[in-house]
A and B are shown apart, each in its own frame.
Chain A
Amino acid sequence: MNGAAVNAIPAQQKTGSELAGDPDTADAVQVALGAEHAAVWCYGLIAAFLPAALEKWTRMDADAHRARRDTAVRLLTDAGRRPVAAEPAYRTPSPVTDQATAVQLAQAAEHDSAAAWHSVLERCDDADLRRTALDGLTDAATRGARWAAKAGTRPLVPPMPGET
C-alpha cells in the first residue's frame, strides 16, 4: 500500500463520517444550512425593493445561496443527519421598506452566511469540508463587499470576515 491508496477513500465518505461522528461539526453545518435558507428567503424580499438594474445581482446571489444550501443538505443527508428545514418566514434585523433597507438586509444575510461558514471551519477537521466552508466564507465576504460598496458602508470588507 502506498500513500495514494489511503487518499483513494471517496471524499464524500470521509466528510460524511466526520459529520456523522462529531456532533459539534454536524451542528455547525446545520447552522450554516439555516443561514443559507434564511439568505435565500432574504433575497426574495430584497428583489422586491431593488430596481431592475440590480435584478441580475440579486438573482445571482440568490442562486449562489441556493447552491450552498443544496451542498449543505447533501453533506448532512449523506452523513445520515436530517437537514434543518427552511422556516416559512424570518424576522429581519430592521424593517425593509425601500432600496436602502433592502441593501442593508443583503449585507446582513451575507454577514450571517460568512459567520456560519467560519464557524464550520472552527469545528471540523476534514479537508474537503474545510474547503467547502472556506468557499462559503469567501463568497459571502465577496458578495458582502459589493453590497457594502452599493450602500457606502466602510470598510467594504471587515478585516476578519466571519469572526463575530
Chain B
Amino acid sequence: MTAALAIPAAAVSVAGCADKAPDPLIALVRQARSDAALIDAAARAWQSPPAGQPDRPTGPITATLLTAVAEARRVHADKMAAELGDDAPPPPPADQSPTPAQEPAAALTAVLTALDASQRNAAALVPGLSRHRAALVGSVSACCAAYRSVLL
C-alpha cells in the first residue's frame, strides 16, 4: 500500500517542478563557463599557433588579452552562481580530451561571436530582473561588450 501511494506523490512533485520556469541566471552561468573554456583555447592558439601557421608578432599580446577575458568570464560565472546559491548549476567535469589545435584567426572569430551572444543575452534580461540582479547582469553585459571592442 505504501508503494502504491508513493506514485501519485511523485507525480505531484514532478508536476510542481514543471510549473516553475528555470531561473534565467542558470543559462548565463553556463554561457560564462563555456565562454571561458572557448577563450582559453583561443589564447593557446595565439600563444603557439599550430604547425604550418606563421608566427604572428602580436600573438603573445593577443594571447595575454584573451587570458584576461577568460578570467573575467570565470568571475562572471562565479558571481552569478553565488547569486543563485543552491540553484546554481554544478560545474562541468574537467575536460580530459585535449582541444585540437585551432587556427588563430578562426579561434578569435569564435570568441567575438561568443562575446556578442553573451552581451546580448545578459542585456536582454536586465529590464526584468530584481534591482540587485539587474546591476549584476548589466555589469556582465558591459564587460563582454568592452572586451569585444578591444579585441576587434
Contacts and interface: CB of A to CB of B under 8 A. Distances in A.
Interface residues of A, number: 32
Interface in A78-127: 114, 118-119, 121-125, 127
Interface residues of B, number: 28
A22 to B, nearest CB: 11
Interface stretch (A42-50, A63-71, A137-145): A137-145
B146 A121 contact: no
Interface of B: 65, 68, 71-72, 75-76, 79, 119, 123, 126-128, 131-132, 134-136, 138-143, 145-147, 149-150
Contacts of B140: 160
A133 interface: yes
Contact of B149 (A133, A134, A145, A159): A145
B75 A160 contact: yes
Main secondary structure of the interface of B (DSSP, over half): helix
A146 interface: yes
A137 B132 contact: no
- Going nearest first, the 4 A-B pairs with the smallest beta carbon separation are A127-B127, A159-B75, A141-B146, A121-B135
A21 interface: no
A145 to B, nearest CB: 4
A158 B143 CA distance: 7
B150 A156 contact: yes
A123 B131 contact: yes
B54 to A, nearest CB: 24
B150 to A, nearest CB: 5
Nearest to B148: A142
A146 B150 CA distance: 7
A144 B71 contact: no
Given A131-B126, A155-B68, A155-B72, A161 B146 contact: yes
